[in-house]
């Protein structure tokens, strides 16, 4: 069973015909969902507006007020990449609410897979700043809601860009493990392997930067060799995925070389980190080639739902294996240095 939160954002929050973060992205995603021919196994849940309490778990009150006021005054450019229009405040709150509604639906049924089909995306939004096309951090709002109920949350981010907002929000939170693979160098310039989390959550940030041209086998290697040991120790109750498709080789904003089959393979791999059925939710992030977005969505969801695997083959033999090994060594050094620092603080 597939539970779709939304879709929302197919008409609102329009930055014009030349901005890559287009409303038509939702149409491409939903075409990929329809291609699965799920019938009664597809359930859609309405995207409510996330309320102030839900948003304030991850965003500052001042930022929320400023964003609302900016939109009410007609919007404009928030930075060189990020816009807001008069309807963006409601669109962003519905995007955040879609994740909360999807989790509620999964809790009620205790089985199925959740897919939050919403824009604007979220993983670059920090506690007090919009950036990278993102206004509110949708996946962070959902994770914070789960931790407020006592759950431990794994966030896997395979978007081509590093989710700096998600990392910063949960940097010192012992109930959230953030694991990211991303192209390096690339916007926003964060996500080094030596970034391992704050003193209260040491080791709960895992970054594996990979070079342009990296193929799917490199991303799988990163998750298996760098991410999985931390994941097994953490033992999450929920698995949330920042599901960007801009690592596809056809995407205009990235230079990784993944295929539809790679996303299917990654989805199957990451789903195994969940403790039981009904605990995996994907959140739409990037993906800016409509055709690749459609086919990647179909392949990813099919893998999670036990459907056909007749998609493009996973890719291999690109550069990056040495980067994974280097990331593992850099992480180990950073953790060792942090342990020494923590011990010194205790004895002061």
pLDDT digits (tens, 9 = 90+) for 188-245: 999 999 999 999 999 999 999 999 999 999 999 999 999 999 999 999 999 999 999 9
CA angle 215, 217, 221 (to 5 degrees): 125
Q: Residue 347: pLDDT above 70?
A: no
3-class SS shares of the chain: helix, strand, coil, % to 5? 40, 15, 40
Question: What's the pLDDT band for 344 if we cut at 50, 70, 90?
Answer: low
SS3 (DSSP) at 120: coil
Give the residue-averaged pLDDT of 174-199. Answer: 98
CA atoms within 13 A on the CB side of 159: 32
Q: What are phi and psi of 91, to 5 degrees?
A: -60, -45
Q: Among this protein's residues, is 124 annotated catalytic?
A: yes
Report the mean per-residue pLDDT for the chain.
97
For every residue of 240-293, DSSP letters joined together read: EEEE--TTBTT-TT----B-HHHHHHHHHHHHTTSSSTT-EEEEE-----HHHH
First to last CA, the chain: 55
Question: What's the pLDDT band for 300 if we cut at 50, 70, 90?
Answer: very high
The percentage of residues in the chain with a pLDDT greater than 70, rounded to a whole number, is 98
CB 253 within 8 A of CB 160: yes
pLDDT digits (tens, 9 = 90+) for 40-65: 999 999 999 999 999 999 999 999 99
Catalytic residue among 13, 59, 124, 248: 124
Measured distance CA(96)–CA(234) in Å, rounded? 25
Question: What's the pLDDT band for 310 if we cut at 50, 70, 90?
Answer: low
Give the residue-averaged pLDDT of 97-101. Answer: 98
CA-based R_g, the chain, Å: 19
For every residue of 34-58, DSSP letters joined together read: HTT--GGGEEEE--PPP-HHHHHTT
Give the residue-averaged pLDDT of 68-84. Answer: 98
Question: What's the pLDDT band for 291 if we cut at 50, 70, 90?
Answer: very high
pLDDT at 346: 64
Q: Residue 345: pLDDT above 80?
A: no
222-260 core/surface letters (b: 16 or more CB in 10 A; e: else): bbeebbbebbeebebbbbbbbbbbbbbbbbebbebbbbb
């Amino acid at each position: 069973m597939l539970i779709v939160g939304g879709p929302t954002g197919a008409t609102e929050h329009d930055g014009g015909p030349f901005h890559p973060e287009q409303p038509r992205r939702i149409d491409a995603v939903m075409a990929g969902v329809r291609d699965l021919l799920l019938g009664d196994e597809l359930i859609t849940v309405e995207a409510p507006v996330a309320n102030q309490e839900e948003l304030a778990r991850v965003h500052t009150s001042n930022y929320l007020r400023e964003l609302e006021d900016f939109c009410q005054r007609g919007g404009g450019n928030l930075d060189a990449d990020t816009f807001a229009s008069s309807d963006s405040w409601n669109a962003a709150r519905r995007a955040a609410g879609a994740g909360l509604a999807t989790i509620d639906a999964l809790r009620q049924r205790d089985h199925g897979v959740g897919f939050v089909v919403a824009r604007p995306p979220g993983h670059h939004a920090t506690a007090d700043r919009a950036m990278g096309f993102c206004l509110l951090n949708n996946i962070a709002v959902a994770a914070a809601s789960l931790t407020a109920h006592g759950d431990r949350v794994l966030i896997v981010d395979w978007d081509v860009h590093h989710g700096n907002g998600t990392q910063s929000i949960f940097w010192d939170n012992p109930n959230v493990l953030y694991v990211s693979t991303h192209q390096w160098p690339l916007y926003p310039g964060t996500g080094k392997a030596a970034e391992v989390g704050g003193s209260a959550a040491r080791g709960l940030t895992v970054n594996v930067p990979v070079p342009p041209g990296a193929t799917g086998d490199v991303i799988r290697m990163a998750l298996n060799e760098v991410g999985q040991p931390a994941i097994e120790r953490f033992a999450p109750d929920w698995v949330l995925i920042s599901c960007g498709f801009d690592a596809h080789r056809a995407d205009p904003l990235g230079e990784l070389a993944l295929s539809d089959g790679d996303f299917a393979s990654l989805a199957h791999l990451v789903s195994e980190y969940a403790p039981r059925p009904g605990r995996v939710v994907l959140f739409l992030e990037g993906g800016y080639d409509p055709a690749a977005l459609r086919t990647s969505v179909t392949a990813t969801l099919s893998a999670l739902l036990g459907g056909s695997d007749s998609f493009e083959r996973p890719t291999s033999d690109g550069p990056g294996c040495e980067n994974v090994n280097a990331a593992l060594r850099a992480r180990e050094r950073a953790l060792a240095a942090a342990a020494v620092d923590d011990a010194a603080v205790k004895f002061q």
